[in-house]
Structures are given as structure tokens and as C-alpha cells.
Amino acid sequence: MNIAILSRNKKLYSTRRLVEACIQRGHEAVVIDVLRSYMNIASSKPEVHFNGESLPVVDAVIPRIGASVTFYGTAVLRQFEMMGAFPLCESVAISRSRDKLRSLQLMARKGVGMPNTGFAHNPDDIQDLIKMVGGAPLVIKLLEGTQGIGVVLAETKKAAESVIEAFMGLKANILVQEYIKEAGGADIRCLVIGDKVVAAMKRQAQAGEFRSNLHRGGSASLIKITPAERATAIKAAKIMGLNVAGVDILRSERGPLVMEVNSSPGLEGIETATGKDVAGMIIEFIEKNAKPHKTRTKGKG
């Protein structure tokens, strides 16, 4: 097969591993920087151009679209979908999963466990917002944050009020969430491919920190997940419509709680922690599922 990997940088671990896995399994791989590609959308024959040339039609596309390029990146992916390529994850599913509020609303509707969460833009009653999610300690998150930046633990009601006021002053959308203390600064990343969790790791925050992000000094290790955690991760990926997803779960007294669902999960941490060939499993999934013009929405949603 001809497989295009949409990635800004060939040297990134995940991109390199996907290229390697394609070649190992006898496929052709091309890495395309979405921001440098351009398209003719008015044509009856959709094309994507890159480096001055029209790209040949590929069989499948692996989108690795960073949060900051979601808008343009999903447009490029849609163009590939219109050309009949099989997307590992569909453009609509990626857009959906990038909207944290929409994701949480969709999962809540389907009964997936999650921390008690409120969101606000310019609340006229901060005290009531705090009360609504059960009071301090609280986690307050900037909606646009990633890698743990913009996630604050407010231990007291007073601290929570100040942080909410500060974010409000910045006109930011925020999410106010019950603090899951018993998670002990750890979360579980479940890597879902299709309807299976193929690898799982525990990320533990460094001492004195509650955020387990590896970028914040967290450390990753292999973990055996429970059947309930497995089922929750699979259900969350399915609700988002993602064939491949990194589902982040907190272990709480009332069972697994989903924090977020990532549509371009990094492979380095999970492959290192588990010793599994996740890149190879992703390509295997494409081999089994790719058919031309199989996108459900054809980019319409």
C-alpha cells in the first residue's frame, strides 16, 4: 500500500516509527507536512500538492496533527478523504476530540465515568460554580492547554476563586473539575486500536506534583489494567469515533474516570514503557481495514 503520514516533522519518534513499520511490512510511506501542502478544493478532481507536485493518490493516511494545527490539518485530511484514501482517524473525529467540552459532553451522554466537571467563560457567580462541582480542592484547566500547562490545583476555595478570576481576566474558556485525590498523581494511558486496548502505561507525577504529564517530569511504567478500565477506554474511543486513540484515565474510588481522549497519541512513551510494537499494530490495523472511499462522512460532518 501507499501510506501518507501527515506530520510536521520526519524526525519525531512517532513519525519515524510509523515510517519504519510501513517499510517493514512492505508498504511505501511518504511524510507530508500539512502546513506546507496546498489544495485545489474547487476542482472536480481533488488533489493535494506538496513540493510543487500533485501527490499520487494514496491508499491510506495516518494523521498526526498537532493541536495547534487542527484547523488546517483536518482540512488537508478531508481532501485526502475526498480522494478516496482511508483515514486512520477521520477528520470529523479528530475535530470532535480536539474540542474538550464537546468530548466531555458526548461521553457524559453515553454514561462514561468522568470527574465531576463544570465549564465557564465568564461566570457571574464564581462561588456557585465552585459549589456546583463539589467545592475545593479543585482542578482548574485552560481549555486550550496541553502537556499539563494551564492545569492548576486549587487546594482551597479562596485559591480556586483567585485562579478562576485570573483566568477570567484573560478571557479564557476554563474547565473546573473535581480533584481526584486518590489517583495519587498518577493516570493511566490506554492505547486503543480498533476495539482493543493494545498497550497501557501508568504515568506517575514527580514528587510534589499532581500532573503526571511526561513533559512535566512524570515517569511511565507498565501497568495491568482492570476489565472496567479496558471497557471504559474502548467505549471512550468508540464514542469519539477514533480508530486509534490515547485514552487517559484516573483511578478513583468510584471506578475509572476518563480525563481526555487523544487522537494523535505519542508512541515513544508507550512503546518504551511496554516494549510493544504499537506502530506495527497501527499499520496492521490499516492493512485489515483500509478500503477506498470508506470514510463514513466524506468530510461532511
Between residues 214 and 281, which has the closer beta carbon with respect to ligand ADP? 214
Grid cell 478532481 in the structure block, residue: 45
Residue of 146, 159, 161, 281 that binds ligand ADP (CB under 6 A): 146
Strand partners for 22: none
Q: Is residue 147 close enough to count as binding ligand ADP by CB under 6 A? A: yes
DSSP assignment string, 184-198: TTEEEEEEEETTEEE
In the complex, what is the shortest distance from the CB of residue 154 to ligand ADP, in angstroms, rounded to a whole number?
11
Choose one: 17-25, 88-96, 207-215, 221-229; the region binding ligand ADP (CB under 6 A).
207-215
Residue 283 CA to residue 168 CA, distance in Å, equals 44
CA angle 50, 56, 61 (to 5 degrees): 80
Binding mask 93-132 for ligand ADP (x = CB under 6 A): ----------------------x-----------------
Q: How many residues bind ligand ADP (CB under 6 A)?
A: 23
Choose one: 160-168, 177-185, 264-272, 276-284; the region binding ligand ADP (CB under 6 A).
177-185
Give helix 91-98 / helix 70-82 axis angle, nearest 10°: 160
Between residues 59 and 187, which has the closer beta carbon with respect to ligand ADP? 187
Choose one: 147-155, 227-235, 239-247, 271-279; the region binding ligand ADP (CB under 6 A).
147-155
215-225 burial: b if 16+ Cβ within 10 Å, else e: ebebebeebeb
Q: Where are the alpha helices (DSSP H) in the chain?
A: 13-24, 70-82, 91-98, 100-109, 126-132, 157-169, 227-240, 268-274, 278-289
Choose one: 37-45, 54-62, 179-187, 274-282; the region binding ligand ADP (CB under 6 A).
179-187
Residue 129 CA to residue 278 CA, distance in Å, equals 41
Subset of residues 236 to 255 that bind ligand ADP, contact rule: CB under 6 A: 248, 250
Residue of 58, 83, 151, 220 that binds ligand ADP (CB under 6 A): 151
Residue of 74, 212, 243, 274 that binds ligand ADP (CB under 6 A): 212
Task: Judge whether 271 and 142 are in contact, CB under 8 Å.
Answer: no
Task: Judge whether 98 and 123 are in contact, CB under 8 Å.
Answer: no
Choose one: 57-65, 158-166, 211-219, 284-292; the region binding ligand ADP (CB under 6 A).
211-219
Per the structure block, which three cell numbers stand in for 292? 477506498
Residue 198: how many CB atoms within 10 A of its CB? Answer: 19
In the complex, what is the shortest distance from the CB of residue 183 to ligand ADP, in angstroms, rounded to a whole number?
5
Reported as half-sphere exposure (CB side, CA atoms, 13 A), residue 85 has a value of: 30
In the complex, what is the shortest distance from the CB of residue 188 to ligand ADP, in angstroms, rounded to a whole number?
10
In the complex, what is the shortest distance from the CB of residue 67 to ligand ADP, in angstroms, rounded to a whole number?
9
Q: Is residue 256 close enough to count as binding ligand ADP by CB under 6 A? A: no
Binding interface with ligand ADP (CB under 6 A): 115, 139, 141, 145-148, 151, 177-180, 183, 187, 205, 210-213, 248, 250, 259-260
